Amino acid sequence: MSALEIVAVVVSFLGIWLTAKRWLLCWPVSLLACALYFKLFLDVRLYSDMMLQALFGVAILYGWIVWARGKDREGEVIVSPLQPAKAWAGLAAGAVGAVAIGWFTSHYTNAALPWMDSGLSSFSLVAQYWTARRHAASWLLWIAVDVLYVGMFTFKGLWLTGGLYAAMVGLAVLGYVRWRQAARSDAPEMPRMA
């Protein structure tokens, strides 16, 4: 456990907590967490996750813009439904990305866990995109990905990061519940038929 890992864990936890609360401050905090984890993953040769942090940086900037534009009159970020066809397309893109990245990192790098690392990285990008688009379903994908990340980070001896991801499972459950409640309260009232 390094000082870098400790700081990255604290900043990441704060960013996820702010995201679950739908506060715009989540984006700059999460951007800092990405930079910290980029360096940490470089140090432990989890290259897919290192590159994921760079891509997350781009996705965070995108999410920041989308959230800033997707607020209601009270300034609350509006939750948007995820259509089934878009959900399946996102999952298919995640699978294709996992295979492509996994093949590359298993053949051309000394990555420690190329297939697991690439699969989790690819599906994390899907979850991040869904989060940026304000879909409550993003939290369900985060739960699945984070559970697997706990195992990978524990295996690599990143105990504190494994603990962070275990806590992030709890935060993802909280985020899903809060976002579903917000989606119900944001839904327009349907006129009643007499």
Q: Is residue 142 part of a domain?
A: yes
Q: Is residue 19 part of a domain?
A: yes
Q: How many domains does the chain have?
A: 1
Instruction: Quote the pLDDT of residue 102.
Output: 92
In which region does residue 45 sit, left (phi positive, over 0), alpha (psi from -120 to 50) or beta (all else)?
Answer: left
Confidence class for position 34, pLDDT limits 50, 70, 90: very high
Q: Is residue 114 part of a domain?
A: yes
Helix or strand or coil: residue 71?
Answer: strand
**CA–CA separation, 69 and 86 (whole Å):** 21
Contacts of 185 (CB under 8 A, 6+ apart): none
Q: Is residue 71 part of a domain?
A: yes
Q: Is residue 192 part of a domain?
A: no
Q: Summarize the confidence of residues 111-127 as an average pLDDT.
A: 90
- Residue 67 belongs to domain spanning: 3-184
Residue 190, pLDDT > 70, answer no
Confidence class for position 49, pLDDT limits 50, 70, 90: confident
Q: Is residue 63 part of a domain?
A: yes
**CA–CA separation, 13 and 15 (whole Å):** 5
Q: Is residue 152 part of a domain?
A: yes
Q: Summarize the confidence of residues 29-52 as an average pLDDT.
A: 88
Residue 186, pLDDT > 70, answer no
Residues in the chain: 194
The type of residue at 134 is R
Contacts of 116 (CB under 8 A, 6+ apart): 148, 152
Residue 111, pLDDT > 50, answer yes
Give the model confidence (pLDDT) of 157-173 as tens digits. Answer: 888 889 989 999 999 99
Q: Summarize the confidence of residues 6-23 as an average pLDDT.
A: 90
The type of residue at 31 is L
Q: Is residue 111 part of a domain?
A: yes
Confidence class for position 192, pLDDT limits 50, 70, 90: very low
